[in-house]
Structure 1
């Protein structure tokens, strides 16, 4: 089913360039491997250290130390988000340019990073609220039905969990699309839903590829993750270089350059 653009014209369906994302990711990683490894190490070490310090402070009898521990625990969220945004932004810059890159390159780099971080934080908060709210709603509905029918309660829990999983899959590309296209949170969520709806099998293959890459990284413990996480970021950002069938402008993004 064709979707309407802002001018009211039908949008052509976007296709995920699954066959080219691996060579694209390798080209991007080879351009700045140590920058990718450094950002990944920062993303892994900083929140781990903050959470360990926060756990020790929360066990103290002092009210001030406990409060500081709670503040440090809350600080782990931006400590993960900041290097993650920087990692995805770096991957987006080093991959072959998309049709909107040149138009957005005029903005100062620091200003772009601040804007992307604010929108990413808003997107993460919005999706977390939806996810947590839906989980609680399913749990409450299942508990209320449990007193009347255990079978009906189980059906509600299973069906609700399935719907929530499908929604989570439909939002798997929201963050990369936000960074690449400079979307607002709601626009990124809608774009991700449309892209996943059009490319169901390719999205499943992409998720399987990401899981496989990071499982291989886990085999190498911390050192393996330093390579698998940036490669996963490159794969996600390469997936945003979508192809539109029968549109001439999309042909320039079909192969790595």
Structure 2
């Protein structure tokens, strides 16, 4: 018996444990509900507080106040990353351990929040640069071709947006994989791409589940987000506890030749 191998023949195929992430997430949340809610509240306070303040300052007629508003808006993103990383790190520690076939988990004692924050910031910058660069490239290419053929310009635009959407889907698990495995940004991006490639339907089901939970959380003056966001973090971290399935090897001919 051996682990199933991917097309390259050098890496085991990882399967998302989609059927077990909900009970695992509930068990993890029940272990420290107030810590999860507290980190979520801190993240929301930072985002809304800095965002509202930045919006008010940007409407000022004084240029220095408007500039300060722009600076606060930019600062709000990295400021919210710290509680987000802390929430994912806590969720990873709260989840129950699975079977011995789960791969890649790094002991939590070897990861420091500051190091994770730095790697998360680098991942966000790298993916942001790629996303903005790709959007600008698609826009420029479509505008250049539009002078010669409107149909071809629309085709380039549609193909570019589709390719970018596929790439974005492939990077949807990069952050939780970075936190769980202690990856660096490029390694997390590559791991996420491989994992999504072999679990397309499961990843779509996971994203649909997260979307549904947070849409419910938006009800009740958005107070439900204090529960839906921690549950979402636990579901994401539970999905990182991938498994390598066992397959039957073909029998070798043991007779002498």
What TM-score, normalized to structure 1? 0.87
Tell whether the 8 Å contact from 2:103 to 2:244 is kept in structure 1 after alignment.
Answer: no
Tell whether the 8 Å contact from 2:93 to 2:108 is kept in structure 1 after alignment.
Answer: no
Q: Paired residue for 1:191? A: 191
Alignment root-mean-square deviation, CA: 1.9
Q: Paired residue for 2:36? A: 36
Q: Paired residue for 1:226? A: 226
1-side partners of 2:226 and 2:91: how far apart? 14
Q: Paired residue for 2:250? A: none
Q: Paired residue for 1:14? A: 14
Q: Secondary structure at the match of 2:242?
A: coil
Q: Which has the higher helix share?
A: 1
Q: Deviations over 1:91-137 (max 9, x none)?
A: 00101246555x53444x7xx00000000000010000000100111
Cα drift, residue 68 of structure 1: 2.8
Cα drift, residue 211 of structure 1: 1.0
Q: Secondary structure at the match of 2:19?
A: helix
1-side partners of 2:142 and 2:233: how far apart? 37
Q: Paired residue for 1:73? A: 73
Q: Secondary structure at the match of 1:19?
A: coil
2-side partners of 1:155 and 1:91: how far apart? 43
Mean CA deviation greater in 42-51 or 61-70: 61-70
Stretches of structure 1 lacking an aligned partner (at least 5 in a row) = 248-257
Q: Deviations over 1:164-186 (max 9, x none)?
A: 00000000000000000000000
Stretches of structure 2 lacking an aligned partner (at least 5 in a row) = 248-257
Q: Secondary structure at the match of 1:18?
A: coil
2-side partners of 1:150 and 1:205: how far apart? 36
Cα drift, residue 3 of structure 1: 6.1
Mean CA deviation greater in 121-130 or 212-221: 212-221
- Cα separation, partners in 2 of 1:168 and 1:207, compared to 1, 3 Å: same
Tell whether the 8 Å contact from 1:3 to 1:12 is kept in structure 2 after alignment.
Answer: no
Cα drift, residue 61 of structure 1: 4.1
Alignment map for 1:130-149 (pairs within 5 Å): 130-149=130-149
- Matched positions, count: 239
Higher-Rg member (1/2): 2
Alignment map for 1:102-121 (pairs within 5 Å): 104-107=107-110, 112-121=112-121
Cα drift, residue 43 of structure 1: 1.1
2-side partners of 1:150 and 1:95: how far apart? 53
Alignment map for 1:1-257 (pairs within 5 Å): 2=6, 10-97=10-97, 101=105, 104-107=107-110, 112-246=112-246
Q: Paired residue for 1:254? A: none
Cα drift, residue 2 of structure 1: 2.0
- Cα separation, partners in 2 of 1:122 and 1:25, compared to 1, 3 Å: same
Q: Deviations over 1:136-189 (max 9, x none)?
A: 111111111111111111111111111000000000000000000000000000
